[in-house]
């Protein structure tokens, strides 16, 4: 269901967002989050994307599902197919029926991985060109990635994540266009680093201190990259390659282990990434 014209992104307002459990090293119930500040940061991201020409679809927030706001984990969109996530942790499994219903309402063919497989959508599966790069270990598993590749008829390259702070692929890897990507080498094992270096000609390596600010968890709209503040070296590297940057404060969501990319899902398909979307280029 690729759409013509501007990119389309799914977001979910943070009406019920909060840290109600701990399923990654960033989450602390004791620390919690500030609801008013989170709402302001989410609205700033929404306004920034709209200013860049993105059409926003909205999910309805649901009480008791605080992480529904992280729509990147809804599943993976590919052409007319939506593969819904099958979450590893029980506290998030209640999100899947809502995402499946959204996909059906949008007219997608909705598929869900079989029981016994874990797959957390665009959090762990990102296209760079025609190849699907897939992270596994902490949330998704290798079998689910192979299943997705077979259903979609695409090449899948599974890579093991080794640092629990970077539990999803989108926390440490960000495709910019075919053959170009940002990544944090320390999140991958030797094989994963070799796969990325061997298959993607132009790479920006993120420094460890900037990776911790979730700088890889960015949204690409044409030649503009929207990312959390606190990564001046990455911003400079992007600008040297001809990309504009928009930096935002997303601290309340980082407390839960997510940033700009986690808060978004490409409705027009992850494979129709920004470099393929007509009219999506924008200047700062």
Q: Which CATH number fits the domain that encloses residue 92?
A: 3.75.10.10
In a domain, 22, yes or no: no
Give domain status of residue 160, yes or no. Answer: yes
pLDDT at 23 over 80: yes
Please give the pLDDT value at position 277.
41
What is the tally of structural domains in the chain? 1
> Is residue 97 a part of any domain in this protein?
yes
Average pLDDT estimate for 153-163: 97
| 1: in domain | no
Average pLDDT estimate for 70-80: 95
Predicted confidence at residue 214, as pLDDT, reads 97
Mean pLDDT of the chain: 93
Confidence at 193, pLDDT banded by 50, 70, 90: very high
Does residue 284 register a pLDDT over 80? no
Predicted pLDDT at 270 = 57
What per-residue confidence (pLDDT) applies to 128?
A: 95
Q: Is residue 23 part of a domain?
A: no
Domain boundaries, position 13: 8-17+28-276
User: Looking at the domain assignment, is residue 284 inside a domain?
Assistant: no
Predicted confidence (pLDDT) at residue 76 exceeds the cutoff of 80: yes
Distance CA 116, CA 147 (A): 12
| Cα–Cα distance for residue pair 214/146, rounded to 1 Å | 27
Are the C-beta atoms of 138 and 168 separated by less than 8 Å? yes
282 within some domain: no
Structure tokens at 59: 């999910």
User: Averaged over 74-97, what is the pLDDT?
Assistant: 96
Across 168-174, average pLDDT: 98
Q: What is the pLDDT of residues 237-278, one digit of tens each?
A: 999 999 999 999 999 999 999 999 999 999 986 544 433 443
Residue 8 has pLDDT above 60, yes or no: yes
pLDDT value at 283 more than 60: no
Residues designated as active site: 168, 262
Which whole number is the average pLDDT over 189-193?
98
Q: What band does 4 get if pLDDT is binned at 50, 70 and 90?
A: very low
Q: Which of the two residues, 69 and 280, has the higher pLDDT score?
A: 69
Contact 31, 246 (CB under 8 A): no
Print burial letters for 178-204: b (CB count within 10 Å at least 16), e (below 16).
Answer: bebbbbbbbbbeeebbebbeeebeeeb
pLDDT band for position 5 (50/70/90)?
Answer: low
In a domain? residue 168: yes
Indicate whether 181 pLDDT > 70. yes
For 33-62, write each residue's pLDDT tens digit.
999 999 999 999 999 999 999 999 999 999
Sign of CA dihedral 22, 26, 29, 34: negative
Q: CA separation (Å) from 140 to 60, 69, 97, 144, 198?
A: 25, 19, 18, 7, 23
């Amino acid at each position: 269901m690729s759409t013509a014209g501007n990119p389309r992104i799914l977001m979910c307002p943070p009406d019920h967002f909060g840290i109600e459990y701990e399923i990654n090293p960033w989450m602390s119930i004791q620390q919690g989050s500030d609801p008013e500040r989170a709402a302001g940061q989410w609205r700033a991201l929404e306004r920034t994307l709209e200013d860049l020409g993105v059409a926003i679809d909205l999910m309805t927030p649901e009480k008791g599902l605080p992480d529904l706001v992280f729509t990147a984990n809804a599943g993976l969109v590919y052409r007319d197919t939506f593969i819904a996530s099958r979450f590893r942790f029980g506290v998030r499994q209640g999100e899947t029926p809502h995402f499946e219903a959204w996909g059906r309402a949008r007219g997608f063919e909705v598929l869900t991985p079989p029981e016994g497989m874990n797959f957390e959508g665009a959090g762990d599966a990102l296209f760079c060109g025609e190849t699907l790069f897939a992270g596994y270990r902490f949330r998704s598993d290798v079998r689910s990635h192979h299943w997705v590749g077979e259903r979609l008829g695409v090449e899948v390259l599974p890579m093991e994540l080794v640092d629990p702070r970077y539990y999803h692929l989108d926390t440490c890897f960000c495709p910019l266009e075919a053959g170009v990507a940002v990544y944090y080498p320390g999140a991958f094992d030797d094989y994963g680093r070799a796969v990325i270096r061997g298959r993607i000609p132009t790479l920006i390596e993120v420094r460890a201190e900037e990776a911790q600010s979730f700088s890889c968890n960015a949204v690409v709209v044409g030649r503009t990259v929207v990312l959390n503040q606190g990564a001046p070296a990455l911003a400079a590297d992007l600008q040297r390659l001809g990309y504009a940057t928009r930096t935002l404060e997303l601290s309340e969501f980082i407390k839960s282990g997510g940033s700009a990319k986690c808060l978004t899902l490409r409705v027009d398909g992850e494979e129709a990434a920004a470099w393929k979307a007509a009219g999506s280029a924008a200047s700062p």
